[in-house]
Amino acid sequence: MANVLVVAEFADGKVKKTTHSAVTFARTAAAALGGSYSILVLGSSAGMAVDELAKLGAAKVLVAEDASLGNYLAETYAPTVAEVAKDYAVVVAAASGFGKDLLPRVAGALAAGYAADITEVLSSGGTLQYKRPMFAGNAFGICVIDSAVQVVTVRQSAFAPAEPTGAVSPSEKVGIAPSGKAAGRVEWVKYEQVKNERPELAEAKVVVAGGRALKEQFYELLDPLADALGAAIGASRAACDNGYCAPDLQVGQTGKVVAPGLYFAIGISGAIQHLAGMKSSKVIVSVNKDGDAPIFQISDYGLVGDLFKVVPELTEKLRAIKAG
Amino acid sequence: MKILVALKRVADPDNANKVKIPADGSKVDTAGLEWKPNPFDDYALETALRLTEDGKSNKVRKGEVVVVSFGPKEVETTLRSALATGADRAIRVECTDEQLDGFLVARALAKLVETEKPDVVMLGKQAVDGDSNQVGQILAELLDWPQAAFAATLREESAGLLVGREVDGGVLEIRVSFPAVVTVDLRIVAPRSVYSTATDAAFKYNDGVRFAPLPAIMQARKKPLDTKSLAELTTEKPRIRYVRYEAPPARKAGTKVVDVDALLDKLKNEAKAL
């Protein structure tokens, strides 16, 4: 059976938007294989996700609901995902913190090949080919997977979220596969969420990102600008490492990858690993006091100047535009 | 505590924009780029060293760190430098880079674990050439061990580790008991990220990784370095096959604007982004 299995990301009673990007991948892949796609959701209250997932055009929504799946841990989720995945040609999740933790473990359980963070799926003679960034986005590799089940994660910014189809998929319960010894040797202790009222970084239409140059004034300067634009806030690695902002704001090769309509790089010089996380943005604006900063080479609009003056002025004028 | 650290050398990541793709798309050409240790693997080594000392003195060791790398003879440079930095012993698995994928490396490491019997296998969360972020998680499954992927903080406890993992939206704390697989994220080398049971709670490390002092580089030549063949560890075939490579779409530099008004005018009227 050449069908595709999407592993939904479901946390705190909500289906994460990352799931919709994985569904978009599944639609293309299933069409190329001449098969269908189903969605698997796991959790202690996974049933809550069914209504929303059933709108996404899947052949089936599979529900693994069990008290043992309360807080996500790869060790407890992977056995059930692997068991269900045995009947599928491809298993996919988004390359989020969830997908990148879980799917390689699933691949291990299936002795399957794993292609990470893919940006495009192609088909050649009925075989799927996966395009994925390497070397901080300075090369793309097109690969095939030689195993009975193929395991992939998809880059969220490269697959637009799937829209509801208007139909309602049937749902069915699936059993929980027995966990290995590993599950008994890991304990979920606590989750400290960073307070964030802004749009999700990976999903925002506008991103305002700051670098080391902002120093302790990171939020003081960027919060009002982001408010004026309705933007998410991102950061360079240097800003995160220096503790000027929360680490989960990091945009780059090893942080979040974003591709918004408009990206502001404020006081960011443009290290290779940062560019890897944002250079697919539609319009890039950079503000930097160094006119030779590498960021200008990939920016649509560059403004050489003192960000401590430019940012407040920009914020004020954007507010005025918004106020009409 | 015994820790097995997996190390990979990569083409200089600070010059990754200089890699070339030949017209036939047959490879990613890294000629002219220096080999460097994968930064995340350097952090894994630093983490392992911190967990096997008391903080005050790196001469008082309370454990063993074994480093392993896969590749041709030249990867011994990477291993020797890890020995100079403080690792006790090294293993090179003889193979070519082309023979490997993440699955195979995880298989081979799993086999190595059978004989080495470490309490922890420590890896970087990803190699910055392939950018896959997979070996630690696959290995944990093959061993049926818990995995602490993307670790930003570690506290050694009596029979395990309390791990702060950087996940979307915050930090998730988990506790794993030995033996376990840990993959490390950037912030693991911050001054207060890693504490062994012997480390004083007030102790702060220098930020980042340590460098080998000159005498240690000499002494490292005498530390044991064993070689194994890949076939001794696994006879599996790789699961991933690259059929071709492409260069990324080029992005042209745009224009410089003189002031905020000019920028807003461009964004509004030219890019239509506001």
Q: Is residue A194 part of a domain?
A: no
Q: What is the 3-state secondary structure (H, E, C) of chain B?
A: CEEEEEECEEECHHHHHHCECCCCCCCCECCCCCEEECHHHHHHHHHHHHHCECCCCCCCECCEEEEEEEECHHHHHHHHHHHHHCCCEEEEEECCHHHCCHHHHHHHHHHHHHHHCCCEEEEECCCCCCCCCCHHHHHHHHHCCCEEEEEEEEEECCCEEEEEEEECCEEEEEEEECCEEEEECHHHHCCCCEECCCCCCCCCCCCCCCCCCHHHHHHHCCCCEEEEEHHHHCCCCCCEEEEEEECCCCCCCCEEECCHHHHHHHHHHHCCCC
Q: Is residue A27 part of a domain?
A: yes
Q: A75 and A160 share a domain?
A: yes
Q: A33 and A89 share a domain?
A: yes
Length of chain A: 324
- Residue A1 has a pLDDT of 57
Residue A130: CATH number of its domain: 3.40.50.620
- Residue A322 has a pLDDT of 87
Count contacts between A and B (CB, < 8 Å): 280
Q: A104 and A163 share a domain?
A: yes
**Residue A14 Rama label (left phi>0; alpha psi -120 to 50; beta):** beta
> Which residue in B129, B239, B244 has the most chain A C-beta atoms within 10 A of its own C-beta, making it the best mutation to test that interface?
B239
Among the candidates A185, A211, A234, a domain finishes at A185
User: Which residue reads 């090179």 in tokens?
Assistant: B92
Q: A144 and A274 share a domain?
A: no
Of B186, B187, B239, the CB nearest to A112: B239
Sign of the dihedral defined by the CA atoms of residues A107, A112, A116, A118, in that order: negative
Which of A180, A168, A200 shows the shortest CA–CA distance to A39?
A: A168
Tokens of A262: 């408009």
- Residue A60 has a pLDDT of 98
Q: Is residue A24 part of a domain?
A: yes
Instruction: Give ipTM to 2 decimals.
Output: 0.96
**Domain count of chain B?**
1
Q: A17 and A61 share a domain?
A: yes
Residue B111 and residue A75 in contact, taking contact as beta carbons nearer than 8 Å: no
Residue ranges making up the domain that contains A132: 4-185
Q: A166 and A213 share a domain?
A: no
Q: A132 and A19 share a domain?
A: yes
Show pLDDT as tens, one digit a residue, over chain B (274 residues).
999 999 999 999 999 999 999 999 999 999 999 999 999 999 999 999 999 998 877 677 889 999 999 999 999 999 999 999 999 999 999 999 888 999 999 999 999 999 999 999 999 999 999 999 999 999 999 999 999 999 999 999 999 999 999 888 889 999 999 999 999 999 999 999 999 999 999 999 999 999 998 899 999 999 999 999 999 999 999 999 999 999 998 888 889 999 999 999 999 999 999 8
Query: Chain B residues with CB inside 8 Å of A193's CB?
Result: 169-170
> Which residue in B119, B145, B165, B167 has the most chain A C-beta atoms within 10 A of its own C-beta, making it the best mutation to test that interface?
B167
Q: Could you say which residues from 41 to 100 on chain B have a Cβ atom under 8 Å away from some Cβ of chain A?
A: none
B30-33 LR contacts (CB < 8 Å, sep 24+): B30/B129
Report, as ranges of residue numbers, the positions in chain A whose pLDDT lies below 50.
none
B191 Cα distance to chain centroid: 19
Residue A302: CATH number of its domain: 3.40.50.1220
- Residue A195 has a pLDDT of 78
Q: A136 and A213 share a domain?
A: no
Q: A160 and A237 share a domain?
A: no
Q: A171 and A231 share a domain?
A: no
Residue B80: CATH number of its domain: 3.40.50.620
Which of B175, B110, B119, B115 shows the shortest CA–CA distance to B148?
A: B175
Residue ranges making up the domain that contains B52: 2-270
Query: Chain B residues with CB inside 8 Å of A137's CB?
Result: 248
Query: Chain A residues with CB inside 8 Å of B140's CB?
Result: 74-75, 105, 108, 182
Q: A27 and A159 share a domain?
A: yes
Residue B146 and residue B31 in contact, taking contact as beta carbons nearer than 8 Å: no
Contact A104 B172 (CB under 8 A): no
**Domain count of chain A?**
2
**Residue B134, φ and ψ in degrees, nearest 5:** -145, -30
Q: A280 and A140 share a domain?
A: no
